[in-house]
């Protein structure tokens, strides 16, 4: 069974990721408008009728902006934990009752050929989760908003073939930037976001041959650039004498346009920002 991945949008302006297994597809987060999601999927010849569910990581607007539209007009079921639903369902957020599906933490859940497991991560929302998804013999882990990588998250990250992981800010740009002090502190805290060096250090410690594709996600518009995120990994790997095998790729996901990594084991699509270390 083939497995296709595409990031429709990644960053603080909106997150939405597509996974397809040749028969059906699912979305992770709906942080851009539902009309943009429909438009991007149509461009890739993916019908909304093939989308069997949308899985939500937490209640921040850059992850749920298009949720009303997907559940309302398209009647796509939405899945997340009870605690996250409690934080999403406010009088302003109208989600049809029969689209609301609750999932447990750290228990495999089967949907349309995917085995999906939610696990907790550390972030400043009432609850935030990452997803570990198996389709056939391929495993994907998606963690887009987390201040540090706890042991549980590390376990799911290390067993992935495709990893979508946050590399939110360049430490110097954040420190020297215009954000108020409280916001800089929040972003750098254990409940905030992962900086380039945190992500690079973790990857340097934990890279293994099964991990064939790493996607750097959720880059800050004001405090990061794709070049800095890649450079940070390049320098850290060089310093620690780590080389990638010939099949491993590292890609930076675009902030507001789709990044196609369809069929992620074979490199068969143009990718905007990528480095190979061999
Ligand atoms: Zn976010
Ligand atoms: Zn967030």
Let me know if 150 is exposed, middle or buried by CB neighbors in 10 A (0-12, 13-18, 19+). middle
- Percent of the chain scored above 70 by pLDDT? 94
Query: How many Å lie between the centroid of ligand 1 and the Cα of residue 62?
Result: 5
Query: How many Å lie between the centroid of ligand 2 and the Cα of residue 138?
Result: 27
Whether the pLDDT of residue 270 is over 50: the answer is: no
Whether the pLDDT of residue 5 is over 50: the answer is: yes
CA 102 – CA 177 distance, rounded (Å) = 40
Decide if 58 contacts 84 (C-beta within 8 A).
Answer: yes
What's the whole-number average pLDDT of the chain?
92
Proximal ligand: closest to the CA of 121: 2
Query: How many Å lie between the centroid of ligand 2 and the Cα of residue 137?
Result: 30
At 78-132, the pLDDT tens digits run 999 999 999 999 888 889 999 999 999 999 999 999 999 999 999 999 999 999 9
Range in 61-65, 70-74, 254-258 with the lowest mean pLDDT:
254-258
The pTM of the full predicted model, rounded to 2 decimals, is 0.93
Residue in 58, 70, 69, 84 with CA at minimum distance from that of residue 25: 70
Counting Cα atoms < 13 Å in the Cβ hemisphere of 14 gives 18
Whether the pLDDT of residue 35 is over 90: the answer is: yes
Bridge partners for 80 per DSSP? 102
Query: How many Å lie between the centroid of ligand 2 and the Cα of residue 109?
Result: 24
């Amino acid at each position: 069974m083939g497995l296709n991945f595409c990031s429709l949008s990644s960053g603080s302006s909106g997150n939405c990721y597509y996974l397809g297994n040749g028969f059906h597809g699912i979305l992770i987060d709906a942080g851009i408008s539902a009309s943009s999601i429909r438009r991007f999927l149509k461009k890739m010849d993916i019908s909304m009728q093939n989308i069997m569910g949308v899985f939500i990581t937490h209640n921040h607007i850059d992850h749920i902006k298009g949720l009303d539209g997907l559940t309302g007009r398209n009647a796509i079921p939405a899945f997340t934990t009870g605690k996250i639903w409690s934080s999403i369902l406010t009088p302003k957020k109208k989600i049809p009752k029969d689209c609301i599906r609750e999932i447990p933490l750290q228990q495999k859940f089967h949907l349309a050929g995917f085995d999906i497991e939610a696990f907790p991560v550390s972030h400043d929302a009432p609850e935030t989760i990452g997803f570990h998804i198996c389709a056939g013999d391929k495993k994907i882990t998606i963690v887009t908003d987390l201040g540090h990588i706890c042991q549980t998250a590390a376990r799911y990250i290390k067993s992935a073939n495709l990893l979508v992981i946050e590399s939110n800010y360049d430490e110097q740009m954040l420190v020297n930037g215009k954000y108020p002090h409280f916001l800089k502190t929040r972003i750098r805290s254990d409940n905030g976001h992962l900086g380039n060096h945190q992500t690079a250090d973790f990857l340097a410690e934990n890279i293994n041959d099964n991990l064939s594709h790493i996607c750097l996600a959720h880059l800050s518009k004001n405090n990061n650039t794709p070049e800095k995120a890649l450079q940070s990994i390049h320098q850290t790997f060089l310093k620690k004498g780590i080389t990638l095998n010939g099949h491993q790729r590292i890609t930076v996901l675009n902030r507001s346009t789709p990044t196609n990594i369809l069929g992620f084991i074979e490199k068969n699509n143009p990718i905007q920002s990528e480095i190979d270390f061999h």
